[in-house]
């Protein structure tokens, strides 16, 4: 393939071997979602949803949820550490139980959809829409940390402008002018990141639920 420019918009997928510019630059984290059947009038009243906007709680390992336009409830949270464990029942149960804790009227409600996937978390939790090396015509829009399709649409537009040699109306911000950072302690820590994540998940759970 011959190309004048390459734009990487692959989310958390396939980044390690794509270009050395991206090796270890994002930390893929699994996210999980479930969607209920549409709520009845009584259930809707009992849940007291006043908006379709996304809502999040204040845990470190947050639950985020919203009432969809067709009156279903979607709720999501973190999932397994590794892709191989993502199908395990207890990750699904975490969401079903979390839904019932927030909305007792929805305990036992039928779940119509469930899915999981990787989100691209950057090491400073900030996205980047940049050409990281002026000597190479490689661009990327990455590191949204699961913060949604609205930002990915915006980032796609900003990146397309850059590939076309245009400067968009964006204000001067580090997210447009700096590359995704390495792990803070240096690249040698990268192989141990999953171990650290596993320990942090346990600590955060203890802090969120017990302490």
Ligand X SMILES: Cc1cc2nc3c(=O)[nH]c(=O)nc-3n(C[C@H](O)[C@H](O)[C@H](O)COP(=O)(O)OP(=O)(O)OC[C@H]3O[C@@H](n4cnc5c(N)ncnc54)[C@H](O)[C@@H]3O)c2cc1C
> Mask 122-151, x = binds ligand X (CB under 6 A)?
----------------------x-xxxxx-
Inter-CA distances, 1 with 4, 8, 113, 153, Å: 10, 15, 38, 26
CB-based closest residue to ligand X:
11
Q: CA dihedral in degrees (3, 5, 11, 17; nearest 10)?
A: 60
Q: Shortest Cβ distance from residue 11 to ligand X (Å)?
A: 2
Using the rule CB under 6 A, which residue among 5, 14, 57, 60 binds ligand X?
Answer: 14
Q: Per CB under 6 A, does 19 bind ligand X?
A: no
28 or 168, CB closer to ligand X? 28
> Mask 66-105, x = binds ligand X (CB under 6 A)?
--------x-x-----------------------------
Q: Rounded to whole angstroms, how far apart are CA atoms 174 and 188? A: 25
Q: With beta carbons less than 8 A apart as the criterion, state whether 181 and 25 touch.
A: yes
Q: Rounded to whole angstroms, how far apart are CA atoms 101 and 167? A: 48
Q: Shortest Cβ distance from residue 112 to ligand X (Å)?
A: 15
- Give the E-state strand segments of the chain in sequence order: 6-8, 26-36, 55-56, 64-67, 73-78, 111-122, 128-130, 138-142
Q: Per CB under 6 A, does 47 bind ligand X?
A: no
Query: Interface with ligand X by CB under 6 A: which residues?
Result: 9-11, 13-14, 31-33, 74, 76, 115-117, 119, 144, 146-150, 152
């Amino acid at each position: 393939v011959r190309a004048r420019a390459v734009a990487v918009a692959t989310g958390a997928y396939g980044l390690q071997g794509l270009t050395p510019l991206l090796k270890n630059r994002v930390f893929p984290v699994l996210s999980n979602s479930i969607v209920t059947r549409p709520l009845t009038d009584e259930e809707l009243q009992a849940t007291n949803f006043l908006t379709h906007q996304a809502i999040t709680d204040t845990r470190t390992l947050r639950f985020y949820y919203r009432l969809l336009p067709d009156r279903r409830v979607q709720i999501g949270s973190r999932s397994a550490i590794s892709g191989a464990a993502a199908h395990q029942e207890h990750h699904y149960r975490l969401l079903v139980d979390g839904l019932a804790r927030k909305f007792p009227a929805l305990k036992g409600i039928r779940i119509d959809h469930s899915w999981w996937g990787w989100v691209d978390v950057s090491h400073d939790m900030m996205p980047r829409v940049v050409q990281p090396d002026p000597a190479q015509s490689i661009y990327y829009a990455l590191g949204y940390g699961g913060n949604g399709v609205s930002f990915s649409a915006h980032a796609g537009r900003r990146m397309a402008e850059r590939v076309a040699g245009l400067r968009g109306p964006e204000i001067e911000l580090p997210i447009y002018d700096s590359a995704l950072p390495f792990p803070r302690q240096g690249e040698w820590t990268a192989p141990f990141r999953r171990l650290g994540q596993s320990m942090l998940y346990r600590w955060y759970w203890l802090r969120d639920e017990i302490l």
